[in-house]
A and B are shown apart, each in its own frame.
Chain A
Amino acid sequence: MSRRARLTLFAVAGPGFTAVLVIGLAGLPAFGHFHGVYGLVVTGTELAERHATDLVTALNFDLRAFDTLGEEFILFASVTGVVLLLRQLRGEDRRPRGGDVGEHRFAGASEALRVISVALLALLVALGGYVIVHGALTPGGGFQGGVVLAAGPVGALLAGRYLAVKMVTPEPVLEALDAIGAAGYALFGLGGLVFASVYLKNFLPLGIPGHLLSAGFMPLNSIAVGLEVTGGFLLIWTEFLDQALVIRSDGGKRGASA
């Protein structure tokens, strides 16, 4: 398309778009004055009927539990895709840089950084576990806690010990975590079908709102999602970091002979 034609098109479309945008924005409710009833309904029912105090988690694991099942498997499928694409290919060698197998050193990784990263590891694991099990009580849940938990072992990467990360979290374990988490969520839903005759319906005692073991099976769902996210994220990071730090092309030698 010539420049003239493009400008003509813009001269027509630009003002039209602006007009629609201005009309649309003028009709919006004022900032902070959203008049949706959905939020009010959720606030009323989830606390009274499910004893959950974090309504976002309650929304994910109760009202929209089936959507969450779909999201679970979106994550599972994407992790599987990444692993399939990035695994070691023909014509690639596994050679850690520097030859020292136990360690991958960053230039300039000081002793202080290594101490901090070890301290950070413990803190991240504790925080991740806390966020996961308190999913139905306080902000956060399986997803957020799962990523924090996964970030723990990666803290060792900061200390320049990438291969130590891989020793703590071997790939078969990560794959199992990912699969068990995804399957666990689906199976808790099946429990609903068996004990409450509706798929993904709560079938456990509700407990007292605000207590750790409350909100029915939401803490279990949160743990299942947390396991899947921990395994999935660590698996993705491991594949990417493998590509960056360990796997390298053998210069086409093996590829050419094959």
Chain B
Amino acid sequence: MTAVQAVAIIAVAITGGAVALFEDPLRETFLLGIYGMTLAALFFSLQAPDVALSEIVVSAIGLPLIVLAALRKVREQAREREHGRRNDERGSG
């Protein structure tokens, strides 16, 4: 194992753990992108540039966009529900 590979494995362990430990989905999404980058560096150091490229495009572009859009929709719905409840209370009161 070369020093580059060792560093890459440690970086994967740290960023992967960070993704699991953070509880806010928004932060997790950004961390997931960084985690994907370290994973890509690991694949690259193990002489698998094809897999590294796939990892980069999926974890840095493909997945975050979908998760961010879903998060926004969920928050908006929560806000609308809150808004609706307040209107109902005002209507009955």
Contacts and interface: CB of A to CB of B under 8 A. Distances in A.
B65 A240 contact: yes
Interface string B53-64: 110111001100
Interface residues of B, number: 23
B73 A56 contact: no
Interface string A52-90: 001011000000000000000000000000000000000
A140 B53 contact: yes
A245 B52 CA distance: 32
A207 interface: no
A132 B61 CA distance: 17
Contacts of A148: 57, 61
Contact of B57 (A31, A139, A144, A245): A144
Contacts, number: 61
Contact of A131 (B53, B61, B69, B76): B53
A233 B62 contact: yes
Nearest to B87: A251
Chain A contact surface mostly: helix
Nearest to A56: B50
B80 interface: yes
B21 interface: no
Contacts of A144: 50, 53-54, 56-57
A188 interface: no
Interface residues of A, number: 27
A237 B53 contact: no
Contacts of B58: 147
Contacts of A143: 54, 57
Nearest to B62: A147
A237 B65 contact: yes
A151 B50 CA distance: 18
A32 interface: yes
B70 A244 contact: yes
Contact of A31 (B1, B73, B76, B77): B1
B61 A139 contact: no
Contacts of B54: 143-144
A188 B77 CA distance: 46
Interface string A36-63: 0000000000000000001011000000
B76 A151 contact: no
B17 interface: no
A179 interface: no
Contacts of A240: 65-66, 69-70
Which of B50, B52, B56, B61 is packed against the most chain A CB atoms within 10 Å?
B50
Contact of A251 (B56, B61, B68, B84): B84
Given A148-B57, A240-B70, 11 more contacts: A131-B53, A139-B52, A140-B49, A144-B54, A144-B56, A147-B62, A150-B61, A151-B57, A241-B65, A244-B73, A251-B84
The 10 closest A-B CB pairs, nearest first, are: A139-B49, A147-B57, A240-B69, A56-B50, A244-B69, A244-B72, A144-B53, A244-B73, A151-B61, A139-B50
Interface of A: 31-32, 54, 56-57, 131, 139-141, 143-144, 147-148, 150-151, 154, 233, 236-237, 240-241, 243-245, 248-249, 251
